[in-house]
Amino acid sequence: MQPFQCLTAPACPLPYANIDTDQMIPARFMKRSRAEGYGGYLLHDMRFSSSGREIADFPLNQTPYRNAQIIVARRNFGAGSSREAAVYALVDYGVRCVIAPSFGDIFASNSVNNGLLPAKVGERDGEALIGLLQETHAELTVDLEAQTISVKGISVPFVIDPVWRTKLLNGWDDIDITLSQADAIARFREEDSLIRPWVTPRIRDGAGQTTM
């Protein structure tokens, strides 16, 4: 996984609350293989009209924001479906950080697993950043070590779970860490099967049907 330390890049304001993962990638694109890249489907129905034309009003379609690697949105970004494809769409488009006052829990953990930083800011700071980006198209600097977002002499703090911060800073993947716990897992399993013998499903041959 690509580590995230400090990024200075163009940012795009998305002044909407509740941008859910269905918006980030509509369900109809999810049959496609990741190898094709999901960037083209990012926020598809917000970016494109039903005839496939770009919607000029949409910030990401405007020249200064088109190459954004940072997105600033309103509350509850990434609510809804657990589809990691929403994160793939952002990452494949080139986005490395999303700034918002709150995030869907599953979306946030999916982000971290893909090297995308979900940076949580105060509601007022978020509004200030959106306002500033609408006026000036400035680049933002997101410093994960210092947990600050700065632009033109202004600096606002953001929060992130410390464990996620460490993971992002180092580009760590959980699986290797977990595999090193194999003995503890095996021990747990053995003791647990005595304490909770009912956990293992009773599978009947050709498993019968319920009568309800």
Partner 1 sequence: MAGSPSGPRTLFDKLWDSHAIVTREDGQTLLWVDRHFVHEGSFHAFNKLTERDARVAHPELTFGIADHYVPTRRSGRSIDPAIQNMIDQLARNTLENDVLLFGLNDPRQGIVHVVGPEQGLTLPGLLIVCGDSHTSTHGAFGAWGFGIGASEVAHVLMTQTLWQRRPKRMRITVDGTLAPGIGAKDIALSIIARIGADGAQGHAVEYAGSAIRALSMEGRLTLCNLSIEAGARCGMVAPDETTIAYLRGRPFAPAGDEFERAAEDWLRLQSDEDAEFDREIILNGSEIAPVVTWGVSPEDALPITMAVPDPEVISDPSKAAQIRDALAYMDLRPGQKLTDVSIDRVFIGSCTNSRIEDLRAAAQVLFGRKAKVPGLVSPGSSLVKQQAESEGLDRIFKEAGLEWVESGCSMCVGMNGDIVQPGERCASTTNRNFKGRQGPGARTHLMSPAMVAAAAVTGSLADVRRLIEERS
Contacts with partner 1, residue ranges (CB under 8 A): 15-18, 20, 22-23, 26-28, 30-31, 34, 45, 50, 74-76, 79-85, 87, 102-107, 109-110, 113-114, 127, 161-163, 166, 174-175, 177-179, 181, 184-185, 188-189, 192, 195-204, 207-212
Task: With CA atoms as reference, report the closest residue to 156 among 164, 166, 165, 146.
Answer: 146
Cβ distance to partner 1 smaller for residue 10 or 166: 166
Extended strands (E) in the chain:
6-14, 70-73, 97-100, 117-120, 139-143, 148-151, 154-157
Helix, strand or coil, per DSSP, at residue 9? strand
How far apart CA 166 and CA 164 sit, in angstroms, is: 5
Is 136 in contact with 43 (CB distance < 8 Å)?
A: no
Cβ distance to partner 1 smaller for residue 153 or 179: 179
How far apart CA 132 and CA 99 sit, in angstroms, is: 14
Cβ distance to partner 1 smaller for residue 30 or 138: 30
How far apart CA 91 and CA 72 sit, in angstroms, is: 15
For every residue of 66-117, DSSP letters joined together read: TT-SEEEE-SSBT-S---THHHHHHHHHT--EEEES-B-HHHHHHHHTTT-E
Helix, strand or coil, per DSSP, at residue 206? coil
Q: Which is it for strands 70-73 and 97-100: parallel, antiparallel or unpaired?
A: parallel
Cβ distance to partner 1 smaller for residue 55 or 67: 55
Cβ distance to partner 1 smaller for residue 146 or 192: 192
Using the 8-state DSSP alphabet, how is residue 51 labeled? T
Cβ distance to partner 1 smaller for residue 5 or 82: 82
